Amino acid sequence: MSASHAFSHLVPDVILDAVESTGLWSDSRIYPLNSYENRVYQIGIEDGPTVIAKFYRPERWSEAQIKEEHLTLLRLQEESVPVVAPMVFNGESLFSHNGIHFCLSPKLIGQHPEADNLDQLYQLGELIGQVHQKMNAPFTKRISVLPLEQMTQAAKHILAEDYLPQKLKPIYQAQITKLIDLSATRIQAYWPTQLRAIHGDSHRSNLMLHNGQFHLLDFDDCQNGVAVQDIWLHLTQTENPRQQLSEMIEGYEAYLPFETRELDLIDVFKSARVIQYAAWLQQRWSDPAFIKAFPWFASEEYWLNHLSELHSCEQEWGQFSR
């Protein structure tokens, strides 16, 4: 099974067989959820609550890395931290069917946070602080963030293919070089002596307000990184984004002190995310789900907009610095 068509054999019968291999009995209701890197389905269960089945993209994470993610979530759940942990059957949370790892978790019903709600931003800061406090030791199996290397590799992959129009490649290379140079200067000025365990992708869609409490979902990208990585994604372009930042940090510091020097790294992580997103789409473009979901990726208009976004990263550099 090639990585480009990793889920080509994941048809309904296979999905249900996998779920039922855990001992549950499905009622044959399957509803696909919005996920592209992995495949995620809502599965109806006879005489029981609906579950969420997550099938991991083969060759992305090792079995040891996934198990470390699961162990972290189960420990957080034991500590009453509001996360959604995988379900355990006979002492196991990770299973394999037809060569694909999968897990099951309870279905959570609720709403995502409101982008500009300051009260909610304070609560999100509290939740992230609580998660970081309980994940008090770095991961031993997961990756560690390396912004300069990740930006460089992502740009290299983009330039090596023909999705980016040839006439735009010199402009792209020049813009990337500027952002990498700016990032290198920031990192040379400050980088923590030790990285910490973080969620790694704590955007609004990975948070759910359930029974009056926010829950952090989907630890698929958990890694060793910097605390501000789990904070800056909640800052939107409003009249006063610094107030948003202040609310997040105040909530965070209810559990842990926040190193203000990390604010100078927001521009680095913002630029890295923009660059890596385009590289991710390109890398997965042979997956039919990506072609269907992102048909505009192969257009010149997409790349012009991408260049504009990269330029904005440069123009807005320093917006959140101390």
What b/e readout covers 198-213, taking b as 16+ CB neighbours within 10 angstroms?
Answer: bbbbbeeebbbbeeee
Determine if residue 218 is labeled as part of a ligand binding site: yes
Compute φ and ψ for 194, nearest 5 degrees. Answer: -140, 130
CA angle 149, 219, 264 (to 5 degrees): 45
The position carrying tokens 């590289």 is 279
Burial of 302 from C-beta contacts in 10 A (0-12 / 13-18 / 19+): middle
Q: Within a 13 Å sphere around the CA of 120, how many CA atoms are in the beta-carbon half?
A: 18
Active site residue 201: yes
**What residues pair up with 52 in beta bridges, in sequence order?**
42, 105
Report yes or no: 178 and 312 within 8 Å, Cβ to Cβ.
Answer: no
Active site residue 116: no
Which residue type occupies 144? Answer: S
Cα torsion angle, 167, 168, 169, 170, sign:
positive
- Marked catalytic residue, from 13, 17, 201, 230: 201
Report yes or no: 95 and 174 within 8 Å, Cβ to Cβ.
Answer: no
Report yes or no: 19 and 54 within 8 Å, Cβ to Cβ.
Answer: no
- Marked catalytic residue, from 181, 218, 230, 287: 218
Distance CA 121, CA 241 (A): 11
CA angle 181, 187, 191 (to 5 degrees): 170
Question: In what helix (H) or strand (E) does residue 53 lie, and over which residues does it extend?
Answer: strand 51-55
Compute φ and ψ for 2, nearest 5 degrees. Answer: -80, 155
Distance CA 47, CA 27 (A): 9
CA angle 205, 211, 213 (to 5 degrees): 60
Could you list the residues known to form a binding site for Mg(2+), using ranges.
Answer: 206, 218
Could you list the residues known to form a binding site, using ranges.
Answer: 206, 218
Kindly list the catalytic residues: 201, 218
